[in-house]
Structure formats: C-alpha cells, structure tokens
A and B are shown apart, each in its own frame.
Chain A
C-alpha cells in the first residue's frame, strides 16, 4: 500500500493553457474523489467516481473542468483555458466500499501566471 499518488506535485502555466493532473488511488480502492483547496479554506468537493463511473460531477466548477477514470484505476482531472482563479491545490482521495474514511494524496499545486 503506497498510498494515493498525485502527479505532478506542482504545475506552473500561463493563463489560457490546458492542464491535466493524474491521480493513482490505493490499489484496492474503487471510489475516487477530486477536491480543490484554495488558500485559507478547507477542501471543496469537485467530483466522484465509483470504479469507472463518474457518479457526481455537478460540483465541477465550470465546463472547463472535466475528469475521467477510464479503466477504474487512475484518474485524470483536466482544466481547459486556465484562468487566474484556478490557482489552487487539487487533491485526490480514495476509499473502498462502505463507510471507510477517505485517504488523500499530497495534491497538485497549480499556479497560473
């Protein structure tokens, strides 16, 4: 069990560019979550997968945000046409079945120039 892994740890990009982040959950976990955390705030839920099915995406911040989990293992979060307000820490979490607590990765910090 190597924990939840996120890549990259840091991403610096110019406004208007597209970015993609990757999350590898704990191997036996079938549920995967994406959160966004801005400075001075707690994490804010974005979207949720159970296996390869995206069961909740209404909380994605705009249509510029999308997420996939094509084979029910790793997931990607893409932000198109980045804006200054997208600067934040993007966290991934995973959990197994039932009411198990979520395990978080170390996040990807996005900075928009």
Chain B
C-alpha cells in the first residue's frame, strides 16, 4: 500500500541556516510526489511537485526537492531559512485510487531568530 514516512516530527533551525526535511515513500510504480506547507489554522499550500523528468525540482519560496528512486526519498531543502518559513510541512503521494493523496504525519519547523 502507498505510504509516506516523515521521520522528523519537529526540527528547529536558526534563521539563515540550511534546511533538509526528509520524506520516504512506499509506492508500486514511479510516483508523483508533492510537498505542501501548512501555517497554523490554515489550509495546505503546494510548494512543489515531481511528476517525471529532472529529479531536482524547484518550488516556490526558494524550496527545492530531489527525487531519489534508489532511496525511495523525496527530501525538501532550502539553502537559507527565513523566520516566515516556520510552519508544518507535509510530503504526499497518490493513494490507492490514484486520485486522492496519502500524506505523511508532517514535520513541524521552528526557526530561531
């Protein structure tokens, strides 16, 4: 069954430091992969998506993610974190029916000034 694991529940980084959020997936075929961000009390905003082609994907707000098939990973990175990046981040893959999304449990990012 399709599943997503985000090993880190909570990460704290200093403003200006680099960031990497981990995502591992289980999927039967070449997956579509997504990263969403959620601010408190808000819905989810799409950061970036991988469908096919170049395994390094650029997204909004300076984020990028790299698809590594051999490691079943799709880690999210940002070279320099801003205080406004503090939020919860979710990795997702299509679910069993391919139409819905299966999400990880999320990683909460805190940013120290």
Contacts and interface: CB of A to CB of B under 8 A. Distances in A.
Report the interface size class on chain A: 20 to 34
B104 to A, nearest CB: 5
Contacts of B42: 106-107
Contact of A107 (B4, B43, B45): B43
Given A4-B43, A106-B42, A106-B43, A99 B32 contact: yes
A82 to B, nearest CB: 21
A104 B36 contact: yes
17 contacts: A6-B43, A41-B105, A42-B90, A42-B92, A42-B104, A42-B106, A43-B90, A45-B101, A45-B102, A48-B97, A55-B99, A56-B97, A56-B99, A56-B100, A99-B51, A101-B46, A104-B43
